Every structure is written in structure tokens, then in C-alpha cells.
Amino acid sequence: MKQLFHFCLYLGMLSLNACGGGGGDSASSANSSTASTNSTPTPTKTVFSWQLPTGFPEPRIPDDNPITTEKIALGKYLFYDNRLSITNTQACAGCHLQNKAFTDGLKTAIGSTGDALVRNSMSLTNVVYNSRFNWANPQLKTLHAQAKVPMFAEFPVELGWSNNEQKILDRLRVEPLYKDLFTKAFPNETEPFTEGNVAKAIANFVSTLISGNSSYDQVIYQQKTAAMSDSAKRGRDLFFSERLECFHCHGGFNFSQSVNHQGTVFDEIEYHNNGLYNLENKGLYPMNNRGLWDVTFINEDMGRFRAPTLRNIELTAPYMHDGSIATLEEVLEHYARGGRLIESGEFAGDGAKNPYKSNLINGFVLTTDEKQDVINFLKSLTDWEFICNRNFSDPFGNQPMHAKCQ
Ligand code: HEC
Ligand code: HEC
């Protein structure tokens, strides 16, 4: 299925509805109510209508940041614009590259001033469906709140906005391109150039990064049974088996947990320790990177992280919150052993014996062929339409597309 987006126009009271009845998105209801109380035509505001992959639920968008095509258009430029960092060297896209499914290929990320982060850059595949953001931060509930983390982070610095807000906003203000884009995106505001609006526009753009046309999707949702190899199909059955248990934590349409959409009833938030470390034989994870524990200081939260989506996982190496596993083969070996053994050095310890490890991580035995089947299944989650989608690519033309894209 094609990932086309289509739009409906609301011009003052007149509603030229080109949505084809996809109704119910918070943006259209929010906007039609403004339209009905306003008798003079307001500036054009084009409300976004989802054109979702087959089988995908409708996203739930925060009330305080409805999606419009103008905000998406602005957000796309900001996401890729190096002027977004105090050093003029990095934007969101510096750590989230489309040709790597919006990751950066590094073990752990580097901020604009050279500061080292402790975490691996996450994929932005389908983040609109997350109920929580980042590897282990239960307080981050919206994409515009999340965007302010890289903007304002100080220890370590990412984009370097703290104490530099006006300087960076002034840069954007004097750029003719942005005068138009900001005014259109925030038409009723006398001063649209604010940090909050930057975050909101970027969040709108990031919400559209939806991937649902992998070989796996073609088999499951589009009846194209030949799209996956027999090996990948056997791998799928293993992935969804009680022997491997993967699907308990990487399940559902998004191969993740902590999901949020129009069909979810409960606020799902799950974090797990999957046995990567066992420092001092006390179940400890390395300092400053202890997952949920860094937020709650509760023993049981030691090493607990969010199970991320496995969509496009082939392109997002290295793996885990600290990038400490280099390949998918090694990820499988880690799970097969029921935790990672680090024999020597400062992180020595047997993760399989971590007392806080999830009871779903127990180890299993796979033949060489079966291992290859699971890997082939994981690779069937790669969505080339997503990776090559020009709607998501660098409007300044600096970032190279993946070699597989025309
Ligand atoms: C210096 C590299 C860097 C920059 C710049 C950066 N990010 Fe990230 N991003 C990361 C890392 C690392 C994580 C994981 C953070 C954590 O868990 O502590 C992340 C996580 C995220 C997530 C959470 C994904 C999920 O599944 O929960 C989103 C969304 C995101 N970034 C969007 C952005 C946006 C938008 C910008 C620009 C405003 C941006 N990032 C700038 C490195 C970066
Ligand atoms: C108990 C829940 C649980 C089970 C079961 C589980 N995982 Fe995970 N998975 C996680 C968590 C949590 C993380 C992140 C852990 C971290 O970074 O410390 C993760 C990370 C991963 C990653 C790296 C993701 C990335 O973006 O870096 C891959 C790949 C993965 N799991 C594959 C699998 C496979 C394959 C199986 C089955 C053999 C499996 N998982 C079973 C919870 C689980």
C-alpha cells in the first residue's frame, strides 16, 4: 500500500472536505470548531488526515498539538536545519538519519558541542504510537515534550538551547523561509517564533514517520504471501513461540510495548531488565545508565528499559540502550543464553543471573538454521518505502538517501 497523505481544506466556515471520511482525528474536530465560531475567513489551515498502512490503528494526537500540514511542513525543515543547534552543526537529523531508519549508527550519541551521551539514538519509526518516549523516561508523554529534551539538555549538551533560546530563535526569525512557514503554521499568533512552537512543529513532522509496508506487512495485511521467504516465515513462527518469548515484549502491530492509539484503553507502560549486566553480582547496571532506576531509585527498576519497536531493526545497529550489542546475531545469542556474560573488565558479571531480570528471559537453544530464520524474519520488518520516502527526507538536500533508494 502506498504511503500517500491526503489533506482536507478548511477555509473559514467553508469546509472543502477532501478527507474521504477518515474522520475522528483530533486535528479536524479542533479546527472545525474554530471555523464554526468565526464568520470572517481565517487564514488557510490545512488539517492533516491519516492515510495509514493497512492494519494500523489511528494515532492518538495530544489535544494541545493537533496536526496540520503547515506545522508538518515547518517541522520538516526544522528537523533537518543545523541552525537548530547553538554550534550550527547539528539538528535532530544529526542523530536521526533516514538512511538508518532515523538512528545514527553510533554506539552512543554525540551532542553538538561534542558531549558524549550515555544512550544509543533511538529509531523514530512509528513513534506516534508510543505512550512514553526515550529508553526509560515515564515522564515523557508527548512528542513535543520529548523534543525539548534534545533542545535543552545540559548534562550532556545536545542542541544547546539552554540560555541560548533567543539567539537561536533570532536566527530562524531572520530567515525568509521561516517567516512564511512559521506564520502559516501558527496563523493566529503575534509571535510565532517560540521554543514551544519549534517543538510542536517538529513533533507534528515526527508523527508522520509511519512505517507499515515491510515484507512482513505485505504478507500479513496485504495477502502478498510471496513477499517473505520460507525461512523468514519459519523465523516469524519462532519469534511468536513460547520457546523464544520475543512477542511478549515486542508484540502487536508495532513489535513494541507501551503503545498508545485511538484503540488503547489503558495507559500501557512497561519496562524490563533483559539481563545485559550484573555488576558486582548485585544486579547493578553501569552508573548513570540504570534505566528506570535513574528516575525512581527503586531496586526492582534496576536495568529496566522500554522494549523498542523492532521495525526496521536491520538498519539500526548497534543495539540496546547503550549500543553494547553490535549485530542481530549477537542479540539472538544474548537472548539464547538468557543474559549476557561479561567475563572481565569494569562491567564484568553474568547478566543471566541478574536478580532483577524479567522472568520471560530464560534462554533457549536454536539450531544454526533456526537462528538464520529468526534473523531473516527480523529483516523482513525493513520497510524500503519508508526509508526512501521523500516526504521524510532532507529538504535542504544534504543528507544522502540510502543506496537502495533511486
Ligand atoms: C545528540 C544526538 C541527538 C539529537 C541531536 C536528537 N536526538 Fe533524539 N534521541 C537521541 C537519543 C540518544 C535518544 C534516546 C534518549 C534516551 O533514552 O535518553 C533519542 C530519543 C528520541 C526519541 C524517542 C523515541 C522513542 O521511541 O521513544 C524521539 C522522538 C527523538 N529522539 C526525537 C528527536 C528530535 C525531534 C530531535 C530534535 C529536536 C532529536 N531527537 C535530537 C539522540 C539525539
Ligand atoms: C522481557 C521482555 C523482552 C523479551 C521477552 C524480549 N525482549 Fe528484546 N528487548 C527488550 C528490552 C527491554 C529491550 C531494550 C533493553 C536495553 O536496551 O537495555 C530489548 C531490545 C531488543 C533489541 C534491540 C532494539 C534496539 O533498538 O536496539 C532487539 C533486536 C530485540 N530486543 C530482539 C528480541 C528478540 C529477537 C527476542 C526474542 C528472542 C526478544 N527481543 C525478547 C525486552 C524484551
Do 252 and 116 sit in the same domain of this protein? no
Is the minimum distance from the CB of 121 to ligand 1 under 6 angstroms? yes
Is residue 115 within 8 Å of 156, Cβ to Cβ?
yes
Label residue 43 by pLDDT band (50, 70, 90).
low
Do 345 and 389 sit in the same domain of this protein? no
Do 342 and 389 sit in the same domain of this protein? no
Give me ligand 1 centre to Cα 221, in Å: 30
Q: What is the pLDDT of residues 171-225, one digit of tens each?
A: 999 999 999 999 999 999 999 999 999 999 999 999 999 999 999 999 999 999 9
pLDDT of residue 24: 31
Residue from 117, 322, 335 to probe ligand 2 pocket by mutation (most atoms less than 8 Å from CB): 335
Do 120 and 196 sit in the same domain of this protein? yes
Do 192 and 131 sit in the same domain of this protein? yes
pLDDT of residue 8: 29
Is the minimum distance from the CB of 358 to ligand 2 under 6 angstroms? yes
For range 351-359, the mean pLDDT: 98
Residue from 107, 132, 320, 327 to probe ligand 2 pocket by mutation (most atoms less than 8 Å from CB): 320
Give me ligand 2 centre to Cα 295, in Å: 21
Provide the number of structural domains found in the chain: 2
pLDDT of residue 46: 78
Measured by CA distance, the residue closest to atom 32 of ligand 1 is: 147
Domain assignment present for 307: yes
Is the minimum distance from the CB of 150 to ligand 1 under 6 angstroms? yes
Is the minimum distance from the CB of 271 to ligand 1 under 6 angstroms? no
Do 150 and 65 sit in the same domain of this protein? yes
For range 19-28, the mean pLDDT: 32
Do 282 and 194 sit in the same domain of this protein? no
Is residue 322 within 8 Å of 340, Cβ to Cβ?
no
Measured by CA distance, the residue closest to atom 31 of ligand 2 is: 307
Domain assignment present for 378: no
Label residue 44 by pLDDT band (50, 70, 90).
low
Measured by CA distance, the residue closest to atom 41 of ligand 1 is: 92
Domain assignment present for 155: yes
The range of the structural domain enclosing residue 262 comes to 245-363
Do 203 and 257 sit in the same domain of this protein? no
Do 198 and 347 sit in the same domain of this protein? no
Q: What is the residue-averaged pLDDT of the chain?
A: 90
Q: What is the pLDDT of residues 140-181, one digit of tens each?
A: 999 999 999 999 999 999 999 999 999 999 999 999 999 999
Domain assignment present for 317: yes
Q: Is the model's pLDDT at 15 over the cut of 90?
A: no
Give backbone dihedrals phi and psi of 70, rounded to 5 degrees, phi first: -70, -40
Is the minimum distance from the CB of 317 to ligand 2 under 6 angstroms? no
Do 7 and 129 sit in the same domain of this protein? yes
Give me ligand 2 centre to Cα 274, in Å: 7
pTM equals: 0.91
Q: What is the pLDDT of residues 307-331, one digit of tens each?
A: 999 999 999 999 999 999 999 999 9
Do 203 and 279 sit in the same domain of this protein? no
A 10 A CB-CB count for 188 gives: 9
Domain at 1, CATH number: 1.10.760.10
Domain assignment present for 234: no
Q: Is the model's pLDDT at 3 over the cut of 90?
A: no
Q: What is the pLDDT of residues 125-135, one digit of tens each?
A: 999 999 999 99
Whole-number percent of the chain with pLDDT over 70? 89
